[in-house]
């Protein structure tokens, strides 16, 4: 797959996700549906991963360029931001903090769960070693 093919794959998944979102009326954004489609595609066609990895690495390295249009869009919405800006900022801060706390708690839970499995496996191995 060429670089153009990898970019076309990304845009195709995004477009299909948007189409599915609009036709089915799913409560998920089209970009999320497109990402699920991309993951499914990569699960089926493994040979495309290296080229897609190179393209996504380049896009991630130049991600700041992609924020320029959204920043300009925010500037054009001055009256709306002056009316609802404080509420939006508070909601953004609270949701970010909640996401961080929940993420940390889930990580700690998963770490304990994995450690328990690992400890149980080590005890079983030790018992087998003593019985031999």
Task: Report residue 125's pLDDT band, with 50, 70 and 90 as the boundaries.
Answer: low
Distances (CA, A) of 81 to 43, 89, 93: 42, 10, 16
pLDDT range class, residue 51, cuts 50, 70, 90: confident
Give the tens place of pLDDT for each residue, 61-88.
887 777 777 777 777 778 888 888 899 8
- Is 27's pLDDT higher than 70? yes
Higher pLDDT, 85 or 120: 85
Calpha distance 70→124 (Å, rounded): 56
C-beta separation of 20 from 26 below 8 A: yes
1 CB-contact burial (10 Å; exposed 0-12 / middle 13-18 / buried 19+): middle
Report d(CA 47, CA 3) in Å as an integer.
13
Reduced to 3 states, what is the DSSP secondary structure of residue 99?
helix
């Amino acid at each position: 797959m060429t670089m153009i093919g990898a970019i076309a794959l990304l845009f195709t998944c995004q477009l299909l996700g948007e189409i599915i979102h609009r036709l089915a009326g799913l409560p998920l954004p089209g970009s999320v549906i497109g990402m699920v489609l991309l993951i499914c595609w990569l699960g089926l066609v493994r040979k495309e991963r290296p080229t897609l990895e190179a393209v996504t690495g380049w896009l991630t390295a130049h991600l700041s360029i992609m924020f320029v249009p959204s920043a300009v869009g925010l500037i054009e919405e001055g009256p709306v931001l002056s009316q609802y800006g404080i509420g939006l900022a508070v909601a953004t801060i609270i949701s970010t903090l909640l996401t961080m706390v929940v993420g940390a708690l889930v990580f700690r839970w998963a770490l304990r769960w994995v450690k328990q499995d690992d400890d149980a496996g080590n005890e079983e191995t030790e018992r087998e070693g003593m019985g031999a």
